[in-house]
Amino acid sequence: MTLQKILKSRLMWPVAMLVVLLLCALIFSDGFFDIRIQDGHLFGTPVNILRASAPLVLVAIGMTLVISTGGIDLSVGSVMAVSGAMACLIIGDLSNQNSVGGVAVAVVAAIALSLVLGLWNGFLVAVLGIQPIIATLILMVAGRGLAQLITSGQIINVQSSPYKVIGAGYVLGLPVSVLIAAVVLAITVLLTRRTALGLLLESVGGSPVASRLAGIQARRFTVMVYIASAACAGIAGLIYSSNVSSADGNNAGNLIELDAILAVVIGGTALTGGRFSLAGTTLGALLIATLDTTAQSVGIPPEATLVFKAVVVVVLCLAQSATFRAMLFRRSTPRPAARAEVPA
């Protein structure tokens, strides 16, 4: 890979920003990169970042698929809440909360409910033709209500060690939540890039009319991506709720849809649909999670954290903007040849 190719890559700026952030952390925060093994588990700030980012990575993966078809899913946070509530409701009613079978039933039920919610979104968008932002806004609002109904407006606390494993457990020294996110990412990459799914999704996002005339079942794919998005959100909801051993209908996944959309956009997928990059999305999600953690560890006061985050995001977006770069470079060098577009 030549230097020029790297510079042109869509992933160049998010990677650069991540490196800069980590460098800052290295300089300003002692022991940031200290990773130690304790009781056979990995511990340290980088591991915490990965753990903290797992739900966001999951939600952003689903969001990427939805956005690639030209849609958007605002309901992911609510689906997280519903999923966690459902699982905790079932576990709370178990005679033995530590029964592995009982927890498995709870997990399957929670994910199944998420799939139904995704199907609902897909139905509204693909069959009834409601604009995605409106269609998913319905569930974004209604889903919180549903979650509160499930928990009867209370926070349900559970004491279940098998359930705790999902969000806070370790396997082979690695956090289970990170492994789950990695597995879902791997499966999604395989499904989209090793089959023709990715191409067909990009085609639907590029032009639904032309895709239909080329024999692509645009409607079916649209329903599929909303189901996939809800499934990802459902899993993320389980991780979140397992980590705190409770179901909180109000705060679980609150505003995560915005972080997820941001992650997708940072990763180089356009909101208008078409080409998508799962690697980019993952980077974007990691970047956002790193921002939160680094802000604390380099000593930025909590009240300024959001401002810090905003500044980084603005700088990143400017760096990614072809127009802005052209403005910067035009001043210094009147270029003989246009090299604005990147052949894919």
User: Measured from the CB of residue 341, what is the shortest distance to other proteins in angstroms?
Assistant: 5
Q: Is position 291 an interface residue for other proteins (rule: CB under 8 A)?
A: no
Site for other proteins in 43-62 (CB under 8 A): none
User: Measured from the CB of residue 233, what is the shortest distance to other proteins in angstroms?
Assistant: 23
DSSP-derived secondary structure for 312-344? HHHHHHHHH-HHHHHHHHHHH---SS-------
Report helix, strand or coil for 176.
Answer: helix
- Contact (Cβ atoms closer than 8 angstroms) between residue 14 and residue 262: no
Q: Which is nearer to other proteins, 23 or 342 (by Cβ)? A: 342
Rounded CA gap, 16 and 299, in Å? 22
User: Measured from the CB of residue 205, what is the shortest distance to other proteins in angstroms?
Assistant: 9
Q: Which is nearer to other proteins, 207 or 297 (by Cβ)? A: 207
* Other beta carbons less than 10 A from residue 336's beta carbon: 6
Pick the stretch among 13-21, 107-115, 197-205, 296-304 that binds other proteins (CB under 8 A).
197-205
Interface residue with other proteins, options 217, 254, 277, 305 (CB under 8 A): 217
Interface residue with other proteins, options 215, 255, 302, 303 (CB under 8 A): 215
Q: Is position 210 an interface residue for other proteins (rule: CB under 8 A)?
A: yes
Q: Is position 194 an interface residue for other proteins (rule: CB under 8 A)?
A: yes
Interface residue with other proteins, options 90, 106, 216, 289 (CB under 8 A): 216
Q: Is position 195 an interface residue for other proteins (rule: CB under 8 A)?
A: yes
Rounded CA gap, 314 and 259, in Å? 14
Which tokens go with 89? 């409701």
Pick the stretch among 91-99, 214-222, 230-238, 252-260 that binds other proteins (CB under 8 A).
214-222
Which tokens go with 315? 């700088």
Q: Is position 211 an interface residue for other proteins (rule: CB under 8 A)?
A: yes
Interface residue with other proteins, options 7, 141, 214, 271 (CB under 8 A): 214
User: Measured from the CB of residue 201, what is the shortest distance to other proteins in angstroms?
Assistant: 9
Number of residues that bind other proteins (CB under 8 A): 31
Rounded CA gap, 208 and 69, in Å? 8
Q: Is position 277 an interface residue for other proteins (rule: CB under 8 A)?
A: no
Site for other proteins in 308-337 (CB under 8 A): 335-337
Q: Is position 1 an interface residue for other proteins (rule: CB under 8 A)?
A: no
Q: Is position 189 an interface residue for other proteins (rule: CB under 8 A)?
A: no
* Other beta carbons less than 10 A from residue 89's beta carbon: 18
Measuring CA to CA, how many Å separate 22 from each of 25, 26, 51, 104? 5, 6, 16, 38
Q: Which is nearer to other proteins, 75 or 203 (by Cβ)? A: 203
Measuring CA to CA, how many Å separate 293 from each of 32, 44, 50, 132, 333? 10, 12, 10, 32, 39
- Contact (Cβ atoms closer than 8 angstroms) between residue 162 and residue 99: yes
Pick the stretch among 70-78, 135-143, 167-175, 188-196 that binds other proteins (CB under 8 A).
188-196
CA angle (7, 201, 214) in 5-degree steps: 120
* Other beta carbons less than 10 A from residue 90's beta carbon: 20
Helix (H) / strand (E) containing 314: helix 305-320
Q: Which residues bind other proteins (CB under 8 A)?
A: 194-197, 199-200, 202-203, 206-207, 209-217, 221, 274-275, 335-339, 341-344
